[in-house]
A and B are shown apart, each in its own frame.
Chain A
């Protein structure tokens, strides 16, 4: 089954404790992206990647890092999480030809930073 898989789905952590949210897709998509969803704000792009070793900032990159060492994986790293990073996070992917248009989303990772 074609899908984007995120882990963990739920996480409660404390300020300053480094964490990584993994994202993996099995569709051989070149384009991958991370969004955060907050009430009243919709989804906002954090980072995106056009292909292996090619990443760029989205609209709200502060406090986050990403890497794209393999085509299928695009982990989101919070080096020192803070409470304002409490949010619902989505990873998404698409074929390069379609750009960011037709995204396949993961099921989401709900993060709480105390």
Chain B
């Protein structure tokens, strides 16, 4: 089946620290991979995506590389800000034309000044 596993949270960092949130997946076929972010009191927003192996998605200083050999899509940012505090969800769609996103459990990130 299709599933996504994220590192357990919550994660607390100081401003300007390096961030990694681990994400691994299990999928049949050729999934597309995503990171969504949920700020307090809001719905989820697409942060970045990658649709094939070795693709790198990037946005707002965040990056993630689609690693087929390790079935991973880890989220990284070189220098986090207080405004990055949110819940981050890794997700996949199982293949072309798939009609749902399969989400990980979410990782709550808190950045302290």
Bound: A35/B89 CA distance, A = 14
Closest residue of chain A to B4 (Cβ to Cβ) is: A42
Bound: A45/B45 CA distance, A = 16
Most chain B CB within a 10 A radius of its CB, from A44, A90, A101, A105: A101
B residues in contact with A105, CB < 8 Å: 43-45
B34-64 interface with A by 8 A CB criterion: 34, 41-46, 49
The size of the chain A interface, using a CB distance under 8 A, is 26
Contact in complex: B99, A48 (CB < 8 Å)? yes
Closest residue of chain B to A45 (Cβ to Cβ) is: B100
Contact in complex: B89, A42 (CB < 8 Å)? yes
Contact in complex: A100, B43 (CB < 8 Å)? no
The smallest beta-carbon distance between A58 and chain B, in angstroms, is: 6
Chain B CB within 8 A of A79 CB: no
B77-106 interface with A by 8 A CB criterion: 89, 93, 96-101, 103-106
Q: Enumerate chain A interface residues (CB-CB to B < 8 A).
A: 4, 31, 33, 35, 40-45, 48, 50, 56, 58-59, 90, 92, 99-103, 105-108
Q: Enumerate chain B interface residues (CB-CB to A < 8 A).
A: 4, 32, 34, 41-46, 49, 89, 93, 96-101, 103-106
Beyond the given A4-B43, A35-B103, A101-B32, please list 9 additional residue pairs across the A-B interface where CB-CB is below 8 A.
A31-B99, A43-B101, A59-B100, A100-B98, A100-B99, A100-B101, A102-B49, A103-B44, A108-B42
